[in-house]
Amino acid sequence: VNSDSAPSSCSKDSGPVVPTIPLLGFLQRVQETALKTYGKSSFDPKDYVDLSLKFNLSTTVEAFDKLPKTANGSVSVKDLDAFIGEYFKGAGEDLVYAEPLDFVPEPHGFLPKVENPEVRAWALEVHALWKNLSRKVSTSVHQHPELHTMLPLPGPVVIPGSRFREVYYWDSYWVIRGLLASKMYETAKAIVINLISLLDTYGHVLNGARAYYTNRSQPPLLSAMVYEIYNRTGDVELVRKALPPLLKEYQFWNSEIHKVIISDAELGNHSLNRYYAMWNKPRPESSTMDKKFASKLLNDCEKQQFYRELASTAESGWDFSTRWMRNPSEFTTLATTKILPVDLNIFILRMEVDIAFFAKVVGENTVAEDFLRASQTRQKAFNSVFWNAKMGQWLDYWLNNNAACEESQTWEAQNQNENVFASNFVPLWIDLFNSDTPLVEKVTRSLQSSGLLCAAGIATSLTNSGNQWDFPNGWAPLQHMIVEGLSRSTSTEARSIAKDIAERWIRTNYVAYKKTGAMHEKYDVEKCGEYGGGGEYIPQTGFGWSNGVVLAFLEEFGWPEDQKIGCN
């Protein structure tokens, strides 16, 4: 990890910090001035850190410093408009449209089980959205990286959409699932090659391909992406190329900051993982908001700690949720680094299983045996640390406050977080768990009585907090992992619930699309046909992972000719 090792003056926050580029510091000054000048309405801080320079940084800073400013730091709208127009290229211009070469309007063998003509026509429209979301890094980024926060990438990517103008790590898994249903194998492989290039350069796959995301990763699903592509294409070369970087990624997630040892009286020590960003300042893409929240805190030390929690929550992909808050009504009590999350540990378990499989494919038998053993050990840890037999769910585990300083912590039942989140059911996604029929039946009953199953899909949590990873929002990745897990089991009941959830999700996506002309980032699971809201930015459309999950569900479950589509 290339981090700044200067000791922090704050004893509560001694973790590493990855230094950032000078351009970002300057863009945050422009962002702050823009907020003061234009006001809050329709202000998105990310727009300013996504600008590219037309001239070198010092020329631009000099011109900015000369703008006449009022005492509170604002400038006139006319001056700021003129400055931005003269010195910057617009946000998004650094990633240019790229025609996906393997796109055809109706691929051969596309969604064979979708017979209903209305659903088929819509599925073809969703399939065509890959063209809208396909991009490549502009030549200027390759030739003058110092003028951009966009990071150079070797090949084309698929972006989520709207304000998310760059490739994202965990989003890409569901984008790839959709691309595979769309038979766009080359586009899917190119995404993986790009993520591997980030891993080669930074030692981890970044949250997204921007300079302000270098201090953290996102839910690690690279091995799952490679597995799904190999499963469809049999591309051994891809597996051979991916294996060494995956071993490097495994090291990253098992480095000192992400690893915690939990000891229990019966089975000894369990090595498990948490999110932990290498950053203790405001997130540049949301800097004005982060500072406002931090202003409630007493001193710099508390602020640093809070900023690390904010960035670590962004690493979790669940930014933001009461799941990570000690007090659900107080945002500054975020404590993501003090939690062992069920889903992160499932993703790492999947990484171990996948690496063992890939190593076997390329004849690295010792590696295969080592990772098989690691996966068996982690499965045992799941049963001891996360499983709650009374609830029939796997629960996040709260670490004691001084976790970072302790060698190991002793497991205590009271540290399991008994609040219900969709992530409590994510272990079903993994064959090691969904192949156990009595277990699946118990967890299915628990899901049915959890309160999470709603008219239009699975809710993220039971708490309506106004955060986007909470009730009543439903997110495509969560629907997909739980549905896929249930549908892989041999339990008839679980499979029928999987189909029911998938149908509800398809209906709500369809009706919202017909009403708004767009696919959405998240949906309101209480109301069929409504998109979701809340959180720190306005609802986004596009949308990579929602498109991917709809196509994957339609491929798996189909839609009979005589079954009506629409809200029931």
Ligand X SMILES: OC[C@H]1O[C@H](O[C@H]2O[C@H](CO)[C@@H](O)[C@H](O)[C@H]2O)[C@H](O)[C@@H](O)[C@@H]1O
Residues with active-site annotation: 319, 521
Residue 232 near residue 252 (C-beta atoms within 8 A): no
Interface residue with ligand X among 35, 46, 83, 92 (CB under 6 A) is 46
- What is the rounded CA–CA span in Å between residue 426 and residue 428? 5
Site for ligand X in 187-216 (CB under 6 A): 207-208
Contact between 306 and ligand X per CB under 6 A? no
Nearer Cβ to ligand X (207/416): 207
- What is the rounded CA–CA span in Å between residue 457 and residue 488? 19
Instruction: Transcribe 444-478 into DSSP letters.
Output: HHHHHTSS-EETTEE-SBS---SSTTSTTEE-HHH
Contact segment (CB under 6 A) with ligand X among 65-73, 104-112, 281-289, 459-467 equals 281-289
User: Site size for ligand X, by CB under 6 A?
Assistant: 14
Nearest to 347 by CA among 419, 252, 486, 236: 252
- What is the rounded CA–CA span in Å between residue 407 and residue 389? 28
- Residue span 142-161 as binding mask against ligand X, x where in contact by CB under 6 A, dash where not: ------------------x-
How near is the Cβ of 419 to ligand X at its closest, in Å? 19
How near is the Cβ of 519 to ligand X at its closest, in Å? 12
Nearer Cβ to ligand X (103/168): 168
Q: Which residue sits closest to ligand X, CB atoms considered? A: 314
Q: Extract the tokens encoding 49.
A: 């850190």
Contact between 352 and ligand X per CB under 6 A? no
Nearest to 491 by CA among 480, 481, 499, 479: 499
Nearer Cβ to ligand X (74/286): 286
Contact between 164 and ligand X per CB under 6 A? yes
What amino acid is encoded at 68 in this protein? P
Nearer Cβ to ligand X (33/215): 215
Q: Extract the tokens encoding 262.
A: 């939990």
DSSP H or E stretch at residue 394: strand 393-394
3-state secondary structure of 107: coil
Contact between 319 and ligand X per CB under 6 A? yes
Contact segment (CB under 6 A) with ligand X among 128-136, 139-147, 165-173, 268-276 equals 165-173
Nearer Cβ to ligand X (427/542): 542
Contact segment (CB under 6 A) with ligand X among 130-138, 298-306, 314-322, 455-463 equals 314-322
CA distances from 237 to 110, 147, 233, 275, 370 (A): 26, 35, 11, 31, 22
How near is the Cβ of 181 to ligand X at its closest, in Å? 20
Contact partners, residue 169, CB within 8 Å, separation at least 6? 195, 205, 206, 207, 208, 217, 218, 219, 220, 221, 222
Contact between 529 and ligand X per CB under 6 A? no
- What is the rounded CA–CA span in Å between residue 377 and residue 509? 39
Contact between 314 and ligand X per CB under 6 A? yes
Nearer Cβ to ligand X (15/284): 284
Q: Extract the tokens encoding 321.
A: 């949720």
Phi-psi region of 7 (alpha: psi -120 to 50; beta: other; left: phi over 0): beta
Contact between 541 and ligand X per CB under 6 A? no
Interface residue with ligand X among 83, 110, 122, 168 (CB under 6 A) is 168
Contact segment (CB under 6 A) with ligand X among 258-266, 280-288, 323-331, 557-565 equals 280-288
Contact between 171 and ligand X per CB under 6 A? yes
Contact segment (CB under 6 A) with ligand X among 163-171, 232-240, 248-256, 353-361 equals 163-171
Contact between 309 and ligand X per CB under 6 A? no
How near is the Cβ of 209 to ligand X at its closest, in Å? 11
Contact segment (CB under 6 A) with ligand X among 168-176, 243-251, 436-444, 448-456 equals 168-176
How near is the Cβ of 441 to ligand X at its closest, in Å? 31
Rounded-to-10 torsion of CA 323, 324, 326, 331 = -100
Instruction: Transcribe 121-173 into DSSP letters.
Output: HHHHHHHHHHHHHEEEE-HHHHH-GGG-SBPP-SS-EE--BTTB-S-BTTHHH
How near is the Cβ of 171 to ligand X at its closest, in Å? 5
How near is the Cβ of 497 to ligand X at its closest, in Å? 25
Site for ligand X in 284-303 (CB under 6 A): 285-286
Q: Extract the tokens encoding 251.
A: 């090291």
DSSP H or E stretch at residue 554: helix 544-557
Contact between 539 and ligand X per CB under 6 A? no
Interface residue with ligand X among 135, 177, 183, 283 (CB under 6 A) is 283
How near is the Cβ of 117 to ligand X at its closest, in Å? 32
Burial code (b: 16+ CB inside 10 Å, e: under 16) for 187-217 equals bbbbbbbbbbbbbeebbbbbbbbbbbbbbbb
How near is the Cβ of 314 to ligand X at its closest, in Å? 3
Instruction: Transcribe 474-493 into DSSP letters.
Output: E-HHHHHHHHHHHHHSS-HH
Which residues in this chain contact ligand X in the complex, by CB under 6 A? 46, 160, 164, 168, 170-171, 207-208, 283, 285-286, 314, 317, 319
